């Protein structure tokens, strides 16, 4: 029998699935479906990076190119079905012990992962208006898994949970207090990533983990977290994943007066403003070219350079703001697709932080070593590949033996 734990990360147009052994940290297989819809692509790999057969059938319009299959990811459910069929072909004796889900919003209460039952589903459903672009997809993923695997324990892991014990002043807006009670507060996101980084720091460099650390999760979505002794005390994302740093297509921090102008003077609809802020801004909006850092670095146009310069400048400002919240800085950690790979961007960000005692070793930085600061520098700078899936798998294992609410089957 191949006992295993499945992790699911369902985004608006993507689905990431990892299959972990019942005990063990290396995934048996990982799948990624992106651009879900008519153009959707699916790729499934085993632990060695070898693409696993997905049953491409040209007669059914399913084609395979360089391991990525087109025609099996028309919807989340279709992609899930194709992944599970392929996993069962590879491991016919597969037995799932638990399924862990990434859920963007856990609201004001959830401080850690939770077993999915009818009450939790209702609670998370009620939070959908707070994260309309993400939460419904996360919940659809849970519902699909409940229907496909009745009786398998399911665990929800929240991106907001890690930030719940931040001091009041870092969670509130300066609005009349009744709005805080209503849930209009800074939730912070990317919590699973920060939990991974905090755990790894505690294992590898406990003296650093005990201090004041700013973690920069720089991916298509980007945010910073201020860690004091491994706990989040402030973050740049706020009520929504729009605030803080400029991102691939999101604007980051913006004067709310701009929104009033767009709504009241320009007469834009709420949907149009939402599209503008979430999908048309950030690196894409400023460059007019792409949301992808690699493409911008390669482009060489003045607009692309300005988009990168804006991204870098906002990172510098917000890193300093996080350090102020911490009362100083002992370490800076980079993670996420840009943080882990874009060494030129890391160099640009750190160049502007010399006044804080940040000094990179150019060779270590270009080589992407774990420690990239100069020997003897007062602030240590690290690159730590994040691993949200591992955090979800651990949570699924730790909660799999809790009792199940029988109402779940009915809910599904
Ligand atoms: P998401 O938030 O969607 O998970 P990722 O963490 O995968 O995003 O980050 C995607 C970003 O990382 C993109 O802007 C991509 O261009 C950037 N990136 C990945 N690899 C590199 C690289 N080698 N050099 C520069 N940027 C990179």
DSSP string covering 219-238, please?
SSSEEEEEEETTEEEEES--
Helix axes 135-148, 118-126, angle to 10 degrees: 160
Percent of the chain with pLDDT over 70: 94
21 has pLDDT over 50: yes
d(CA 311, ligand 1 centre) in Å: 13
Task: Tell me the mean pLDDT in the region 292-315.
Answer: 97
Whether 26 maps to a domain, the answer reads yes
Q: Is residue 198 part of a domain?
A: no
Is residue 146 located within the same domain as residue 217?
A: no
Q: How far is the CA of 367 from the centre of ligand 1 (A)?
A: 17
- In this prediction, residue 404 carries a pLDDT of 54
Is 159 an annotated catalytic residue? yes
Q: Supply the pLDDT for residue 56.
A: 65
What is the mean predicted confidence (pLDDT) over 115-130?
95
For residues 71 and 118, state if they share a domain.
Answer: yes
Q: What is the mean pLDDT of residues 120-139?
A: 93
Report how far ligand 1's centroid is from the alpha carbon of 224 (Å).
16
Same domain as 358, residue 230: yes
C-alpha distance across the termini of the chain, in Å: 27
Residue 93 included in any domain: yes
CATH code (residue 106) = 3.30.420.40
- pLDDT for position 323: 98
Where in the sequence is the domain holding 142, given as residue range(s)? 2-57+67-166+389-399
Please check whether residues 238 and 332 belong to one and the same domain: yes
Supply the mean pLDDT for the chain: 93
Q: Are residues 159 and 216 located together in one domain of the fold?
A: no
pLDDT at position 358? 98
Q: In the predicted model, what is the mean pLDDT of residues 141-161? A: 93
> In this structure, are 143 and 53 located in the same domain?
yes
Residue from 16, 294, 295, 312 to probe ligand 1 pocket by mutation (most atoms less than 8 Å from CB): 294
The stretch 334-354 carries a mean pLDDT of 97
Q: Each residue of 228-239: pLDDT tens digit?
A: 999 999 999 999
For residues 55-78, give the mean pLDDT.
75
Of 28-37, 102-111, 394-403, the poorest mean pLDDT is in 394-403
- Range 45-74 average pLDDT: 78
Residue 59 pLDDT exceeds 80: no
Average pLDDT over residues 364-387: 96
Alpha-carbon distance 223 to 221, whole Å? Answer: 7
* Structural domain count of the chain: 2
Domain-located, residue 280: yes
In this prediction, residue 60 carries a pLDDT of 67
Instruction: Write the residue with the smallest CA distance to atom 7 of ligand 1.
Output: 337
Spatial separation of the C-alpha atoms in residues 164 and 156, rounded to whole Å: 16
Rounded Cα–Cα distance for residues 195 and 333 (Å): 13
Whether residue 244 is found in the same domain as residue 111: no
- Among 112-121, 131-140, 178-187, the minimum mean pLDDT is found in 131-140
pLDDT exceeds 80 at position 199: yes
Q: Is the pLDDT of residue 405 over 70?
A: no
The pLDDT confidence band at residue 58, using thresholds 50, 70 and 90, is: low
Indicate whether 80 belongs to any domain. yes
In a domain, 411, yes or no: no
Same domain, 160 and 217: no
Query: Are residues 145 and 130 both part of a single domain?
Result: yes
Q: Identify the residues whose C-beta falls under 6 Å from ligand 1.
A: 219-221, 248, 292-294, 297, 336-338, 341-342
Residues 394 and 369 grouped into a single domain: no
CA 204 to CA 202: how far, in whole Å?
Answer: 6
**271: in domain:** yes
Given a contact cutoff of 8 angstroms between Cβ atoms, the answer to whether 279 and 133 are in contact is no
Looking at the structure, do residues 261 and 124 belong to the same domain, yes or no? Answer: no
Residue 37: the pLDDT is 86
Q: Tens of pLDDT along 222-269?
A: 999 999 999 999 999 999 999 999 999 999 999 999 999 999 999 999
pLDDT of residue 51: 86
Percent of the chain with pLDDT over 90: 79
Would you say 247 and 222 are in contact if contact means Cβ atoms under 8 Å apart? yes
The verdict on 309 and 384 lying in the same domain is: yes
């Amino acid at each position: 029998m191949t006992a295993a734990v499945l992790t699911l990360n369902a985004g608006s147009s993507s689905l990431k699935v990892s299959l972990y052994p019942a005990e063990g940290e290396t995934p048996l297989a990982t799948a990624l479906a992106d651009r879900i819809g008519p153009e959707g692509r699916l790729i499934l790999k085993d632990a060695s990076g070898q693409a696993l057969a997905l049953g491409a059938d040209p007669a059914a319009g399913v084609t395979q190119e360089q391991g990525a299959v087109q025609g099996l990811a028309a919807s989340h459910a279709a992609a899930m079905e194709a992944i599970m069929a392929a996993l069962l072909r590879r491991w016919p004796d597969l037995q799932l012990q638990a399924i862990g889900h990434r859920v963007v919003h856990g609201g004001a209460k959830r401080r850690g992962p939770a077993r999915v039952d009818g009450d939790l589903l209702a609670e998370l459903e009620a939070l959908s208006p707070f994260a309309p672009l993400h939460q419904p997809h996360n919940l659809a993923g849970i519902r699909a898994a409940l229907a496909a695997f009745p009786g398998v324990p399911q665990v929800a892991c929240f991106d907001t949970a890690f930030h719940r014990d931040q001091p009041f002043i870092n969670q509130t807006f300066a609005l009349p207090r009744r709005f805080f009670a209503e849930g209009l507060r800074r939730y912070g996101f990317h919590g699973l990533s920060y939990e991974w980084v905090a755990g790894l720091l505690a294992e590898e460099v406990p003296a650093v983990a005990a201090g004041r650390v700013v973690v920069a999760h720089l991916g298509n979505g980007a945010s910073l977290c201020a860690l004091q002794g491994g706990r989040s005390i402030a973050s740049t994302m706020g009520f929504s994943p729009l605030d803080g740093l400029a991102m691939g297509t999101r604007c980051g921090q913006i004067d709310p007066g701009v929104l009033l102008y767009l709504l009241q003077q320009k007469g834009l609809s709420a949907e149009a403003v939402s599209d503008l802020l979430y999908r048309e801004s950030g690196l894409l909006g400023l460059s007019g070219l792409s949301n992808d850092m690699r493409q911008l670095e390669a482009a060489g146009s003045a607009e692309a350079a300005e988009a990168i310069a804006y991204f870098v400048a906002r990172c510098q400002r917000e890193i300093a703001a996080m350090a102020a919240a911490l009362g100083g800085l002992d370490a800076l950690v980079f993670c996420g697709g840009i943080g882990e790979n874009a060494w030129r961007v890391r160099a640009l960000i750190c160049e502007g932080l010399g006044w804080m005692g940040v000094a990179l070793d150019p060779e270590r930085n270009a080589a992407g070593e774990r420690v990239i600061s100069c020997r003897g520098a007062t602030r240590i700078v690290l690159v730590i590949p994040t691993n949200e899936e591992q955090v979800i798998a651990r949570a699924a294992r730790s909660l799999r033996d809790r009792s199940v609410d029988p109402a779940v089957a009915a809910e599904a």
